[in-house]
């Protein structure tokens, strides 16, 4: 055998994954490991200072519908019960309480009030006109 055939046998053995220098490799042992326990559920989300929130909600429940939304920048929200388009929000409960105590929505004008006021104004102008034109002239 020549050098060439010897090299060919060595390379063939290496390509086949021939015997390792340390001897045969035992088959891999499979160890049954229990699956990791699922993570515990997240704690329930709570309103910060829940008691203060409840007191605030009771104090202003007659005028405002108060809500708390966990997923927004300004979670404290108030909607006026008489004027639903009047809404405001705050990020802090104390600030929210100040806003509720100060906020006074504009009064709604009722048509019958305007008509009564216009009628009264017209009567007063008519009476004033009568006094001016009926007054004796100094001539």
Distance of alpha carbon 96 from alpha carbon 76, whole angstroms: 7
| Predicted pLDDT at 55 | 93
Per the CB < 8 A criterion, the answer to whether 108 and 86 are in contact is no
| Predicted pLDDT at 56 | 92
Q: What is the mean pLDDT of the chain?
A: 80
Q: Please report, rounded to a whole number, the percentage of residues in the chain having pLDDT higher than 70.
A: 73
| DSSP category for residue 88 | E
| Predicted pLDDT at 42 | 84
pLDDT tens, residue by residue, 4-59: 776 767 777 776 665 555 555 566 666 778 888 899 988 888 888 889 999 999 99
Q: Is the pLDDT of residue 110 over 60?
A: yes
């Amino acid at each position: 055998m020549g050098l060439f055939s010897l090299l060919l046998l060595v390379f063939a053995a290496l390509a086949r994954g021939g015997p390792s220098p340390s001897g045969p490799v035992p088959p891999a042992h499979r160890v049954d490991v229990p699956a990791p326990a699922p993570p515990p559920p997240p704690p329930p989300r709570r309103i910060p200072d829940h008691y203060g929130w409840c007191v605030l909600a009771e104090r202003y429940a007659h005028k405002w519908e108060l809500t708390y939304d966990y997923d927004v920048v300004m979670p404290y929200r108030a909607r006026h019960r008489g004027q639903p388009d009047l809404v405001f929000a705050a990020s802090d409960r104390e600030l929210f309480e100040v806003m509720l105590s100060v906020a006074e929505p504009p009064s709604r004008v009722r048509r019958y009030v305007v008509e009564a006021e216009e009628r009264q104004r017209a009567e007063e102008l008519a009476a004033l006109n009568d006094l001016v034109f009926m007054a004796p002239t100094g001539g």
